[in-house]
Structure 1
């Protein structure tokens, strides 16, 4: 009897391990979930610095500033999931005599590993397209620089709130942009309407860090 009790106790941890392994492979109800998100980012090369007479200066960076979009998450099991996002990422400044912006569309594909009920980590790829830097300053200049589509890496840490519909993400992105063409419509009051293709200039550093709130529905 004692030997049987000892054997049962010795096998108990293995029983729990087998049970845990089985739980991770069990089908998940509602595998697919959708979300919308809003985030703020900082980093990257400074593209332009604006000085105002009656206010603070404003800079436009290649890693800033606002990221808005929607996503979809597919859950494989208790440990693994795949998140895809499509967002509009931009930094801009609008004044009485100036409209300046750096914008792009960002597509993310990130597999996540669930550490516990609250935290998950992921490393994936991000693909940026329709990247443009636009400068319009009254009659002085109206120009647009278009960039080639770029792929980069994204590392992400997610924290799940007690409310299952909300989670927040800390992310780091490594990416650079290469100029494709420059379109000059106006300069110093004169209409130009010229496009320069295959622009040979150094690449722009778009590396950034950001904080994003996701609402799941």
Structure 2
């Protein structure tokens, strides 16, 4: 239910952004955006070894992050941004015993960020990130059970370069930790990571 509410909120803000951009509201510019990123880092959660001898590791900071949100630019160098994303790493394939399976670690991050324009192309910023419904799941020949994690609050710092008005490249670092849900003494898993993103801004 939380995911549905958050997604609906972003869609509503996007619609509002489109409407206000069309009317040219003074002092504030609202721009919907979508983004895609690759991230690396975090503690090892599990690993998979395939029949060809290749192995891969699922980490708490990987791997693919897709997001959508709204960028709010004020009549100053300052801007604010809110987004909802889906951040995941999935391993699928045939094990060394010839059976198919899947392992996934995923979560739904909500981010509220502030940025400061250095010039027309560069800006730096940071803010807070709330990762909701984090879960490790598995199935098929790779089934080792499913585990849920408590929601976590983390911090973000980033720099963004606008190649054009619409297309931007971003480097960022995130600090966050995950704890197993329902276990007060469970160890923490470090989900901190670095990432490279491409974003497209509408309007």
Question: Is the pair's TM-score, using the shorter chain for normalization, greater than 0.5?
Answer: yes
Distance 1:98 1:200 in 2: 31
Could you say if the C-alpha distance between residues 120 and 74 of structure 1 is closer, same or farther in structure 2, counting changes exceeding 3 Å? same
RMSD: 1.7
Q: Given the alignment of the two structures, is residue 73 of structure 1 paired with residue 71 of structure 2, yes or no?
A: yes
Is residue 103–residue 143 contact of structure 2 (8 Å, CA) maintained in 1?
no
Distance 2:136 2:75 in 1: 42
Cα-to-partner distance string for 1:96-144 (whole Å, 9 max, x where unaligned)? 4221000000111110000111110002000000100012243x74511
Distance 1:155 1:30 in 2: 23
Distance 2:160 2:170 in 1: 4
Residue 71 of structure 1: how far off its partner (Å): 1.5
Based on CA coordinates, which of the two structures has the bigger radius of gyration? 1
Structure 1 spans left out of the alignment, 5+ residues: 1-26, 181-196
Cα-to-partner distance string for 1:183-205 (whole Å, 9 max, x where unaligned)? xxxxxxxxxxxxxx436320100
**What TM-score does the superposition give when structure 1 sets the normalisation length?**
0.75
May I ask how many residue pairs the two structures share in their alignment?
173
**What TM-score does the superposition give when structure 2 sets the normalisation length?**
0.80
Aligned to 2:150: 148
Aligned to 2:138: 135
Residue 30 of structure 1: how far off its partner (Å): 6.2
Aligned to 2:104: 101
Q: Given the alignment of the two structures, is residue 110 of structure 1 paired with residue 113 of structure 2, yes or no?
A: yes
The residue correspondences of 1:15-34 to structure 2 (distance < 5 A) are 31-34=29-32
Aligned to 1:12: none
Partner of 2:185, secondary structure, is coil
Cα-to-partner distance string for 1:29-76 (whole Å, 9 max, x where unaligned)? 661000111000000001112111214211101000000110200111
Structure 2 spans left out of the alignment, 5+ residues: 1-24, 95-99
